[in-house]
């Protein structure tokens, strides 16, 4: 089966699981928005990665489905709470929970998504359930810490590229590496395989986030499902921004600095940022970094035996590099 | 050792654990408020209950300390998020997190407390760790559902005493029963003992919440650490309110109904509510209900062998009934 079709099949498995999981739950004030967010699409990248990592170690994807769904629930928990904190109005082309309902609802829905994530995870039947739960929990702790760093950066005067990389490793990378590690644990991978898949996830996670930064400034708005340049308007110091700041001179540098001072720039300046990011080599640096991380990720796959699942993990990194949304 | 002294000793064990648990964690924007809330006192009722239930089944309190701390972390997660939703300015005589810092911080601190709760829980060494985690998780799910019902009630025209009892069973009672059940599981209690301690916790939890409603209107403000009558001012339909509404007539009934319509009454009306609650027998009904639940709780203890821990569980219910804050 071609990789794309198989990916969609795995994604459907997860979607169907999630739908079933919250179908008749009460009360409506809580579960209506929960169902809304879970039916809002999303690529289910983390879930599919759990299933593939499990298969690549010799396990069955069915065994990993609970954990796969758990990762998606956990991911949605972070989205709902981050959207409140960022005052975001749209997500995946739809109104965010705190806008469609209110902030109190969004706080509670996020909490519930995290609780449901554990409920799904703990349906896993595995002699390694203690490790599975611990790895998952360290993911939750780090994602909160990453979000705290991200918020600190908004008002911190000097953020360096390295600070940024630490932050995204916690905020974004960790959940990708947890996904791969959980799959490996459930698939009864060897110690070496579990570690290799964790590192695979770290690289993929970082590449994924830098790609996100890149798409925010280079993507096609309709395809992307989010407003282009929202990072620039919102004053978010991304990999691109920090790279550009290192190399920009004169009026370009002043514009970059004013952005940090004012917490963003007006919509009309987005094209200036697009130009500056190109001219300073920030876009090239991002592309190089992504390619490097994905190469490292692929290299980790040597610890796995050849299998259709391993081939698909290979393809997975390729797909991430070429995604448009 | 007298019960009070032993209670304080157990509470200190938990306090010391919690302090150690978050001592050097980074970043400060996240862990400073976490340390603030965890050092703010609190009776550690749930934690002590975990330790006692474990001992009462023949286990050691040291084995249950991780789970005891986890219950306190979980409880504090609910407090921090509920305080945002309720716009509360004070808790345990101190400024709430979202007031002292801001709402974004409070959202994230709550999330982190829940993550830390799982981290502590999963340090438990027990062959029943899968059950321990599942029971804990069902507690988290229900406490979110309970909070959703509580919020629904704020705008629902007809709330009955039974609706209220279901809500507090989820919102407050569940975490008390989870505490007792976790202790029993970790202490290797029999199936019957685990079930008995769960029911013990359900009764104690309900009594505890109705006692809270009662203290809000009858306590000494200084001792209580919260503003008296805050439920009445905030338009919270408590057990007392719903009981009074069943029996009030004339202008008293009109005052009660205006309260529901307007989402509370001014401070000057609190004494009217105190009078109405007394005259309609609502305060008596609450006291009777509490006494009944505590008697049922005590009755469950027959499933345990006689031990100092069982005696202390006995005393525990007595203490709850006579607490002033």
Express each pLDDT in A178-229 by its tens digit. Answer: 999 999 999 999 999 999 999 999 999 999 899 989 999 988 767 666 678 8
Can you say whether the dihedral through the CA atoms of A226, A229, A231, A235 is positive or negative? Answer: negative
Q: How far A140 CA sits from the closest chain B CA (Å)?
A: 6
Chosen CATH of A3-322 out of 3.40.980.10, 3.40.50.720, 1.10.600.10, 3.90.1150.10: 1.10.600.10
Q: Is the pLDDT of residue A278 over 80?
A: yes
Residue B179 sits at the vertex; the CA angle it makes with B178 and B181, to the nearest 5 degrees, is: 60
Q: Select the residue of A104, A122, A129 nearest B151 (Cβ to Cβ).
A: A104
Domain ranges of chain B: 3-322
Cβ-Cβ contacts under 8 Å, A129 against chain B = 129-130, 133
List, as one string, the DSSP characters of B254-310.
Answer: HHHHHHHHHTS--GGGHHHHHHHHHHTTHHHHHHHHHHHHHHHHHHHGGGSPP-HHH
**Residue B90 forms contact with A (CB below 8 Å):** no
Q: Which of A130-139, A189-198, A254-263, B145-154 has the lowest mean pLDDT?
A: A254-263
> A133, A143, A140, A139: which is closest to A66 by C-alpha?
A133
Cβ–Cβ contact A309 with B under 8 A: no
Comparing C-alpha atoms, which of A211, A196, A175 is closest to residue A53?
A196
Q: What Å distances lie between residue B25 and A172, B28, B39, B170, B272, CA to CA?
A: 20, 8, 15, 32, 49
% of chain A residues with pLDDT over 70 = 97
Encode burial over A72-87: b for 16+ CB neighbours within 10 A, e otherwise. bbbbbbbbbbbbbbbe
What residue of B is the nearest CA neighbor of A81? B107
Contact A121, A67 (CB under 8 A): yes
Q: Do B134 and A145 touch (CB under 8 A)?
A: no
Which distant-in-sequence residues (6+ apart) come within 8 Å of B44 by Cβ? B10, B11, B14, B15, B68, B72
- Residue A11 CA to residue A49 CA, distance in Å, equals 10
User: What is the band of A263 on the pLDDT scale with cuts at 50, 70, 90?
Assistant: confident
Q: Roughly what angle, to the nearest 10 degrees, separates helices B191-218 and B270-279?
A: 120
Burial class, B116, CB count within 10 angstroms (exposed 0-12 / middle 13-18 / buried 19+): buried
pLDDT of residue B226: 66
Residue B325 pLDDT class (50, 70, 90 cuts): low
Q: What are the distances in angstroms from CA B290 to CA A65, B43, B110, B175?
A: 45, 19, 30, 18
Contacts of A84 in chain B (CB under 8 A): 104, 107
Residue B252 has pLDDT above 90, yes or no: yes
Q: What is the rounded CA–CA span in Å between residue B5 and residue B7?
A: 5
Contact B144 A110 (CB under 8 A): no
Nearest C-alpha in B relative to A156? B29
Distances (CA, A) of B244 to A65, A79, A180, B235, B252: 51, 43, 57, 14, 9
Question: A245 with A253: CB under 8 angstroms?
Answer: yes
**The predicted structure's pLDDT at residue A325:** 65
Interchain contact, A110 vs B111, CB within 8 Å:
yes
pLDDT of A226: 66
Residue among B98, B108, B142 with most chain A CBs within 10 A, to mutate: B108
The nearest CA of chain A is from the CA of B81 a distance in Å of 7
Q: What is the spatial distance between Cα B302 and Cα B196, in angstroms, rounded to a whole number?
A: 9
Question: What pLDDT, on the 0 to 100 scale, is given for residue B219?
Answer: 79
CB contact under 8 A, A118 and B133: yes
| Digit-coded pLDDT (tens) for B268-277 | 989 999 999 9
Q: From the CA of B174, how many Å to the nearest CA of chain A? A: 14
Q: B224, B169, B174, B175: which is closest to B72 by C-alpha? A: B175
Report pLDDT digits (tens) over A221-251.
676 666 788 888 888 889 999 999 999 999 9
Considering only CB atoms, which chain A residues are within 8 Å of B129? 129-130, 133
Cross-chain CB nearest to B85 (options A85, A104, A130)? A104
Average pLDDT over residues A296-304: 96
Residues of A in contact with B85 (CB under 8 A): 104, 107-108
- Residue B42 reports pLDDT greater than 90: no
- Kindly state the average pLDDT of the residues A81-110: 94
**For residue A65, what pLDDT band results from cuts at 50, 70 and 90?**
very high
pLDDT of residue B224 exceeding 70, the answer is no
pLDDT band, very low/low/confident/very high, at B228 (cuts 50, 70, 90): confident
Question: In this structure, what are the phi and psi dihedrals at residue B94, rounded to the nearest 5 degrees?
Answer: -125, 160
- CB < 8 Å to B103, chain A: 103
Nearest-by-Cβ selection for A151 from B29, B141, B151: B29
pLDDT at B274: 94
* CB within 8 Å: B114 and A119: no
Q: Is A114 within 8 Å of B151 when comparing Cβ atoms?
A: no
Per-residue model confidence as pLDDT tens digits over A151-185:
998 888 889 999 999 999 999 999 999 999 999 99
Can you tell me which residue has the tokens 């439920």? B231
The predicted model gives A135-161 an average pLDDT of 93
Of B107, B137, B140, the CB nearest to A85: B107
Given an 8 Å threshold on Cβ–Cβ distance, is B114 in contact with A147? no
Shortest CA gap A122–chain B (Å): 6
On average, the pLDDT of chain B sits at 93
ipTM, two decimals, is: 0.93
Q: Which helix H or strand E contains B39, and what residues bound it? A: none
A96, A108, A263: best mutation site toward chain B, by most B Cβ within 10 Å?
A: A108
Kindly report, residue by residue over A16-34, the tens digit of the pLDDT. Answer: 999 999 999 999 999 999 9
Q: What is the mean pLDDT of residues A269-287?
A: 95
DSSP B115: H
CA distance B307 to chain A (A): 32
Instruction: Give yes or no for a contact between B197 and B56, defined as CB atoms under 8 angstroms apart.
Output: yes
Number of A/B CB contacts below 8 angstroms equals: 114
SS3 B90: strand
Q: Do A111 and B110 touch (CB under 8 A)?
A: yes
B166 in contact with A at a CB cutoff of 8 Å? no
How confident is the model over A291-316, as a mean pLDDT?
95
Is the Cβ of A27 closer than 8 Å to some Cβ of chain B? yes
Q: Where are the alpha helices (DSSP H) in B86-237?
A: 97-100, 103-121, 129-153, 161-168, 174-186, 191-218, 221-224, 230-233
Rounded Cα–Cα distance for residues B29 and A149 (Å) = 8
What is the C-alpha R_g of chain A?
Answer: 20
Better-predicted residue by pLDDT, B108 or B208 = B108
- Write the pLDDT tens digit of every residue in B75-106: 999 999 999 998 989 888 899 999 999 999 99
pLDDT for residue A135 is more than 90: yes
Query: B27 CB near a chain A CB, below 8 Å?
Result: yes
Q: Is A29 on the interface with B (CB under 8 A)?
A: yes
Pairing of strands A94-95, B90-91: unpaired
Smallest Cβ–Cβ distance between A30 and the set B77, B81, B145 belongs to: B145
């Amino acid at each position: 089966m071609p990789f794309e079709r198989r990916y969609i099949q795995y994604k459907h498995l997860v979607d169907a699981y999630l739908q079933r999981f919250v179908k008749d739950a009460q009360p409506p004030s809580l579960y209506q928005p929960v169902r809304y967010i879970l039916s809002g699409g999303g690529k289910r990248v983390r879930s599919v990665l759990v299933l593939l990592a499990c298969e690549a170690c010799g396990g069955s994807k069915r065994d990993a489905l609970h954990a796969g769904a758990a990762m998606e629930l956990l991911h949605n928990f972070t989205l709902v709470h981050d959207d409140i904190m960022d005052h975001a109005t749209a997500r995946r082309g739809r109104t965010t929970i705190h806008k469609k309902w209110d902030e109190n609802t969004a706080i509670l829905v996020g909490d519930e998504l995290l609780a449901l994530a554990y409920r799904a995870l703990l349906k896993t039947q595995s002699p390694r359930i203690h490790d599975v739960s611990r790895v998952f929990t360290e993911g939750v702790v780090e994602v909160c810490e990453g979000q705290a760093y991200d918020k600190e950066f908004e008002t911190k005067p000097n953020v360096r590229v390295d600070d940024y990389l630490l932050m995204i490793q916690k905020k974004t990378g960790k959940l990708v590496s947890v996904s791969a590690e959980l799959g490996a644990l459930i698939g009864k991978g060897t110690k070496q395989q579990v570690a290799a898949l964790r590192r695979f996830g770290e690289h993929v996670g970082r590449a994924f986030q830098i790609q996100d930064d890149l798409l925010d400034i280079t993507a096609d708005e309709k395809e992307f499902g989010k407003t282009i340049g929202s990072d620039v308007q919102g004053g978010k110091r991304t990999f691109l921004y920090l790279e550009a700041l290192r190399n920009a001179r004169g009026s370009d540098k002043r514009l970059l600095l004013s952005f940090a001072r004012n917490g963003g720039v007006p919509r009309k300046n987005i094209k200036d940022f697009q130009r500056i990011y190109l001219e300073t080599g920030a876009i090239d640096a991002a592309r190089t970094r992504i390619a490097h991380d994905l190469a490292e990720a692929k290299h980790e796959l040597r610890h796995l035996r050849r299998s259709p699942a391993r081939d698909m993990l290979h393809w997975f990194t390729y797909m991430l590099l070429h995604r448009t949304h």
